[in-house]
Chain A
Amino acid sequence: MIYNEEFETLPREAIEALQLKRLQQVVGRVYHTVGFYRKAFDSAGVTPDDIRSLDDLRRLPFTCKQDLRDNYPFGLFSVPMSSIVRLHASSGTTGKPTVVGYTQRDVETWATLMARSFVSAGLNKNDIIHNAYGYGLFTGGLGAHYGAEKLGASVIPMSGGSTKKQIMLLQDFGPTAICCTPSYLLFLAEAGKEMGVDMKSLRLRVGILGAEPWSGRMREQIERELDITALDIYGLSEIMGPGVAMECIEGRNGLHIQEDHFIVETIDPATGEVLPWGTPGELVFTTLTKEAFPLVRYRTKDISRLLPQVCKCGRTFVRMERVSGRSDDMLIIRGVNVFPTQIESVLLGIDGLEPHYLLIVDRDGSLDTLEVQVEVSEKIFSDEIRELQNMEKRITKDIKDYLGVTAKVKLVEPNSLQRIEGKAQRVLDKRTI
């Protein structure tokens, strides 16, 4: 099933024609209504009239997270506050959060994109959707909520936390789909097992999981432990929230980007050079229809690759590979690029290991050091020191073989690494440069 068949299956030329028309409108609008863009376009020596083809997009300057911070809180809004009906803000780990606004029409567009995403996961109005994304300033909760209502499904506005209640409602209300982060779903699966619940016998059929990078092996583990299909959803508050791109259940290979509402580019994060489709790089989005908070060439720092081949589901929108990491999260250890998801993949390749790990990066003199803390599960625990030391050696060797870096592996007690109900903390970088 396809929710907006008319748009989601447009031929490539029609998508591009629609994108160009909308791009010209949005560029003209931000130039005339947002001081930041007028200045940025002027200093790049480009005017809205210069945008005559989609290729002209690359003449426009990028927008970065710092630009959002510099214009905190409402400086990049393109409409007066009287037209804004909703505000969200991203989790600012350091300093001020980034604030985004929506008009009534933006909220409706967003709900449509989420409804499309749910349909792409095989859901319809008969489904019950357990929404464990946090409700509040974070876009996950309300984004998924409005989409589920738009579709006509029954939504359980559970939000995060209250683990025991989550498990109880999963049993009693019989939801057929769950929305949350992948690490939180694994956490729930474990918690349920500890409570003596057979998590495979729940009515859950599909998980719509996103908001953090995860590996293919983690997906396999989730599918095994809950007996569901785990699908990847992508979004970020700056661009819209969840629903910017969604994996289809038919193809299960990459996420369709909603190209009638966004233009996607991949760039070399170091040089800003636009890369051809198929080459891994940083995703850059331009919003085409957003009224309150349009963004031109927003650098996401998410690393992915665009897959131009036509998908068997019938949707013609280009797909992006599951985000392999963020250029922010990328650790450079003795000159080697390491993403936490790569370590996760190595750990999950060893029988019995759980994906509960923490990477601690430090510096010893001028040398970077990487310590990988891994929780001991009962499956790998042995009463013999030698066996556990062999496990440490095995992990060290696999990391060296796959990633080319030498790590010190340290086994730690079960449940000793911090579980954040939401995004998992994977990296502690103690280096001061």
Chain B
Amino acid sequence: MKVEQISIFLENKPGGLSSVTKALSDAKINIRALSLADTSDFGILRLIVDDVAKAKEVLNDQGFAVGKTHVVAVEVPDRPGGLNSILELLTGKGINVEYMYAFVERSGENAVIIFRFDATDEAIEALQQNGFHVLKGEQVYGL
């Protein structure tokens, strides 16, 4: 039930982001979701793509430092309180959210939230036991 996310180190300088998107575009890799975390000096671009192995390969060829991490994708009803119910559950279990980002499914009815937890397996178990819809990797790559 885990989703593979790739992350890329970027310096804060003009053209940094576009050199990543260009490499992916040239290799016909589709970006499903992304988030950019940054400090004054550098940023970390996190991506969910449709072909993780190929994306890592083409970015490595371009000389980027690329990491792979397991994240969890949860479908949340697109209504008030949707996210809060998840966070309350995890807080109760003592699970910490390292970071998260969201995107909306094509149908527009549900939001999908990507979580990075400090305890991935426990988080998945808790979410499933409490009726949340945890998406499989293939479902997210193919969205």
Give residues in A with beta carbon < 8 Å to B.
376-378, 381-385, 388-389, 410-416
Contact = CB atoms under 8 A, between A and B. Distances in A.
Nearest to B40: A410
A415 B63 CA distance: 7
B67 A383 contact: yes
A377 B64 CA distance: 9
A220 B44 CA distance: 31
A388 B65 contact: no
Contacts of A377: 65
B41 A410 contact: yes
Contacts of A378: 65-67
A412 B11 contact: yes
Q: Is the interface of A mostly helix, strand, loop or mixed?
A: loop
Nearest to A413: B11
Interface in B52-94: 63-67, 69
A383 B10 contact: no
A362 to B, nearest CB: 16
Contacts of A389: 39
B5 to A, nearest CB: 7
A382 B38 CA distance: 13
A413 B10 contact: yes
A416 B42 CA distance: 13
A383 B63 contact: no
Contact of A413 (B5, B38, B65, B69): B65
Q: Is the interface of B mostly helix, strand, loop or mixed?
A: strand
A382 to B, nearest CB: 6
Given A378-B66, A382-B67, A383-B69, A413 B9 contact: yes
A379 B64 CA distance: 12
The size bracket of the interface on B is: 20 to 34
Contact of A376 (B9, B46, B99, B116): B9
Interface in B20-57: 37-39, 41-42, 44, 46
Contacts of A381: 7, 9, 65-67
Most buried by B among A377, A383, A385, A414: A383
Nearest to A386: B98
Contacts of B5: 383
A384 B37 CA distance: 9
A411 B99 contact: no
Contact of A414 (B41, B44, B63, B69): B63
Given A376-B9, A385-B39, A413 B67 contact: no
A381 B116 CA distance: 16
Given A376-B9, A413-B10, A383 B41 contact: no
Given A383-B44, A412-B11, 13 more contacts: A376-B9, A376-B65, A378-B65, A381-B7, A382-B7, A410-B41, A411-B9, A411-B41, A411-B42, A413-B63, A414-B65, A415-B63, A416-B11
A412 B16 CA distance: 12
A278 B30 CA distance: 64
Nearest to A408: B41
Given A383-B5, A384-B98, A414 B39 contact: no
Contact of A388 (B16, B44, B63, B99): B44
Given A376-B9, A413-B9, A413-B10, A385 B37 contact: yes
15 contacts: A376-B9, A377-B65, A381-B9, A381-B65, A383-B69, A384-B99, A385-B38, A388-B9, A388-B42, A388-B44, A389-B39, A413-B63, A413-B65, A415-B63, A416-B11
A410 B46 CA distance: 20
Interface string B88-113: 00000000001100000000000000
Nearest to A410: B41
A376 B69 CA distance: 17
B65 A385 contact: no
A384 B41 CA distance: 14
A410 B66 CA distance: 18
B21 to A, nearest CB: 16
A384 B98 CA distance: 8
A376 B5 CA distance: 19
Contacts of B44: 382-385, 388
B87 to A, nearest CB: 19
A392 to B, nearest CB: 8
A411 B67 CA distance: 16
Contacts of B66: 378, 381
Contacts of A383: 5, 7, 44, 46, 67, 69, 116
B16 to A, nearest CB: 8
Nearest to B98: A384
Contacts of B46: 383
Given A383-B46, A385-B37, A414 B64 contact: yes
Contacts of A411: 9, 41-42
Contacts of B7: 381-383
A383 B116 CA distance: 10
A376 B94 CA distance: 32
Contacts of B38: 385
Interface in B92-142: 98-99, 116
